[in-house]
């Protein structure tokens, strides 16, 4: 079985530093993968609650 870690890619916890730190920690702890969540569309009423939201492909390419 393989285990992965989901990166902080939306909301108050999402930032470049938090995402990089989480990915590095996952690697050093021996996890097999990192994941992001992706929302193609969000109701306007929910946008503020999930902001900021890092785009998944760009985030993974950065790492």
Decide if 38 is inside a domain. Answer: no
Position 40 scores a pLDDT of 72
pLDDT tens-digit series, residues 5-60 = 999 988 888 889 999 999 999 999 999 999 998 877 778 887 778 788 888 999 99
CA–CA separation, 60 vs 53, rounded Å?
Answer: 13
Residue 24 lies in a domain: yes
In a domain, 40, yes or no: no
Look up the pTM and report it. 0.81
Q: What domain count does the chain have?
A: 1
Q: Which of 21, 24, 22, 7 has its CA nearest to residue 58?
A: 7
Non-local (6+) Cβ contacts of 60 within 8 A are: 34, 36
7 contact partners, CB below 8 Å, separation of at least 6: 19, 22, 23, 34, 35, 36, 59
């Amino acid at each position: 079985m393989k285990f992965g870690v989901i990166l902080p890619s939306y909301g108050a916890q999402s930032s470049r530093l938090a995402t990089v730190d989480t990915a590095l920690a996952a690697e050093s702890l021996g996890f097999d993968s990192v994941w992001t969540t992706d929302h193609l569309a969000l109701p306007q009423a929910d946008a503020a609650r999930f902001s900021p939201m890092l785009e998944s492909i760009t985030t993974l390419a950065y790492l």
